[in-house]
Chains A and B, each alone.
Chain A
Amino acid sequence: MTRIRRFYGAQPLHLLATIVSFAIVAAGVAGWFQAGSDPRGILLWALGAGVAFEIIVLPLAWLLDRIALGAGAGVGDRARPRLGPPNRAYVRVPALLSALLLIVFAPLIFRADTPNFQAITGIRPPDYLARWLLATAAMFVISAVLYALSLRRNRSGDRRPSQDLSDPD
């Protein structure tokens, strides 16, 4: 037993779980082939999804977040140079949520297949691009209102800089 453990590098339970797991995975992959519906295309999509996520989506999200962060850092910087990082959230949060909606609903927003949409639903697709832009605008407006309220709260608070805002970046 100890020798197995030393060779394998983990508890026997680990090996057991791995065997059960791989059996189920293999049955799933075999199912793709047994169903006979372009199994190679499926494998390409499955592996492609993992790779694309790692090398495209995550770096892109990071980049967009840095841009939003930069924009957020600029909010109020000229007028109130002491405004610190917490205010970035007022740009960053709506930007991240807008990006999430864009990623998830991109096929509708960019009208990937209007004829198919029409054949299935019997209606012309609404302007999802406009809806997404409106939703984005709404989130930024809500964020701006919250920002304004927080400024007012801080100003009325005896002009005493709050802990959150006292930290220059």
Chain B
Amino acid sequence: MDLEPGADARADPESRPSIWRSPLRGPWLTSALGLVLLSGLPVVFLTGLFSNAAYNPWLNGNVALQGRSRSPLDFYLFTWPAHPSWLYAVNEGIHVSLGLALIPAIIVKLWSVTPRLASPPPLSSPARALERLSLLFLVSGILFELVTGVLFEEYWVPYHFDFTSAHYYGAWVFFGALVAHTVVKFSTMRSALRTRGSLARVLRTDLEHTLPEPPEDLARAQSLVPAAPSRPTMSRRALLGVTAAGSALLGVQGIAQSVGGPIRALAFLLPRGSKPGTGPNDFPVNGSYAALGLPADTIAHWKLRVLSNDGQRLELTRAELQRRFELHTYSLPLACREGWSTTQRWTGVRLADLAAAVGLHESVAVFLDALDGGTATLAANQVAADESLLALNVNGVPISLDHGYPARVIVPGEIAINCLKWVSSMTFAPVDDA
């Protein structure tokens, strides 16, 4: 029997009463949850790094991490690819959905180690003191990431810092602490899972047969197994079950807003579970036109400026764009860093054709300006992709003001924030290193 109580677990007559009495706490439970988090959180971390890479942050005007100076953590491994077109949608869907789904496991994991976190810091050796300090980074790091991420999803900004850089460097703080925690605790986790029980056994054990774990070979203050456990009011499988149910509840919200279509409504507690309506332009909006507060005649006077770095210049109205250029139609996802996406049929002018119109043909990047003051640079591989459009229509009708009328950019595989709406000028320039 793996989860048998130890002989002295409950019989210690000297045991002082402690407020930590849950008989479920112990190395097995903590290790099982630790394994879940060790499998899941690195995926959230990596998809987060990829999400940062999707900005192509090394290009002028892209909003990620516009710090005053460069941190050694601002490294980018590759230019973000333009194919497959669902690349960013899937990456960010995983980042947000998995992040949400792990919240219950994080809460229960922290609950399981509360007696240790609440005990006075062990200063018996430098190793223990440093380990404790590292736990501060670990716990604060994960909670900071979790809180900022969730608040960002819900459009509540009660802080004054920039979300993107705070969340990015916060991820490194957590990851750094996780490295030490994993190295220090991995063997403890493995042996607890091997010697203290199997998942199958825990899943077979009902409340009546739920017993405290055997005591650890540790000082009282360091022990997870309570010296004087109370009677269980819940089996371990019930605790794991309710944690899993919570994960499913939250994870489904994230998956539904990412997959969209018929299951979008399942994200009933996230802003992107709601659609504005049922028309061809009624897919989720990020940044409404009304909120820009632009002068009323802005759109009437709109002309797109297409420039080349060597002085070529065109000014085109919407009608001229439709007349002069071949229009192409592609189904492409619009994928937000908030983890939601929506696939629509976009019609517009190829970016490569616009570059050619100002005399540039190969390895061309483009710098975009928009009426709302937004800027972005698209890399040469993105300009060259056939599906990269300056979109004029969506689903057969002109795109709405909220979606960027008179013209917006849509690029396959790219983060929506770089697909500017209300584009006012496009400056093409050859790149040598492409």
Contact = CB atoms under 8 A, between A and B. Distances in A.
A binds B: yes
Contacts of B170: 28, 32, 42, 46
Most buried by B among A45, A113, A163: A45
A111 B305 CA distance: 41
A36 B67 contact: yes
B124 A105 contact: no
Given A85-B207, A93-B242, A35 B127 contact: no
A108 B154 CA distance: 6
A37 interface: yes
B179 A21 contact: yes
B15 interface: no
A47 interface: yes
Interface stretch (A74-82, A94-102, A148-156): A94-102
A30 B383 CA distance: 35
A2 interface: no
B252 to A, nearest CB: 12
A118 B353 CA distance: 36
Interface stretch (B281-289, B310-318, B363-371): B281-289
B246 A97 contact: yes
A28 B173 contact: yes
Contact of B179 (A24, A41, A92, A93): A24
A86 B169 CA distance: 45
Contacts of B291: 118-120, 122
Contacts of A25: 134, 137, 141, 172-173, 176-177
Contacts of B140: 46-47, 49-50
B286 to A, nearest CB: 6
A126 interface: yes
Given A41-B159, A42-B161, A97-B242, A34 B71 contact: yes
A63 interface: no
A9 interface: yes
Interface in B237-256: 238, 241-242, 245-246, 249-250
A112 B158 contact: yes
A113 B184 contact: no
Interface stretch (B88-96, B266-274, B296-304, B406-414): B266-274
B179 A20 contact: yes
Nearest to B167: A42
Determine which residue in A38, A101, A104 has the highest number of CB atoms from chain B within 10 A of its CB, and name it. Answer: A104
Contacts of A36: 67-68
A113 B155 contact: yes
Contact of A18 (B165, B180, B249): B180
Contacts of A97: 242, 245-246, 249
A85 B100 CA distance: 31
Interface stretch (B1-9, B144-152, B188-196, B387-395): B144-152
A142 to B, nearest CB: 11
A44 B269 CA distance: 28
Nearest to B130: A18
B242 A23 contact: no
B69 interface: yes
A17 B117 CA distance: 21
A104 B100 contact: yes
Chain B interface bracket (under 10, 10 to 19, 20 to 34, 35 or more): 35 or more
Q: Which of B165, B168, B270 has the most chain A CB atoms closer than 10 A to its own CB?
A: B165
A147 B154 CA distance: 35
B156 interface: yes
A26 B180 CA distance: 13
B73 interface: yes
A54 B135 CA distance: 13
A71 interface: no
A140 interface: no
B39 interface: no
Contact of A21 (B69, B176, B233): B176
A23 B268 CA distance: 42
Contacts of A8: 125-127
Contacts of A86: 206-207
B402 A122 contact: yes
A104 B150 contact: yes
Interface string B105-127: 00100110010011000001111
B171 to A, nearest CB: 8
Given A88-B233, A108-B271, A29 B169 contact: yes
Nearest to B232: A85
Contact of A105 (B65, B269, B272, B288): B269
Interface in B213-267: 233-234, 238, 241-242, 245-246, 249-250
23 contacts: A21-B177, A21-B183, A25-B173, A31-B172, A38-B159, A38-B161, A38-B162, A42-B161, A42-B170, A45-B161, A47-B140, A49-B147, A50-B140, A57-B107, A58-B111, A93-B238, A97-B246, A100-B246, A109-B269, A120-B155, A120-B291, A128-B269, A163-B206
Interface of A: 7-10, 13-15, 17-18, 20-32, 34-39, 41-42, 45-47, 49-50, 53-54, 57-58, 61, 69, 85-86, 88-89, 92-93, 96-97, 100-101, 104-105, 107-109, 112-113, 116-123, 125-126, 128, 131-132, 135, 163-164, 167
Given A28-B170, A119-B287, 16 more contacts: A10-B127, A15-B127, A27-B73, A32-B166, A32-B170, A35-B169, A42-B161, A45-B144, A49-B143, A50-B139, A58-B110, A88-B233, A100-B103, A100-B250, A113-B155, A122-B402
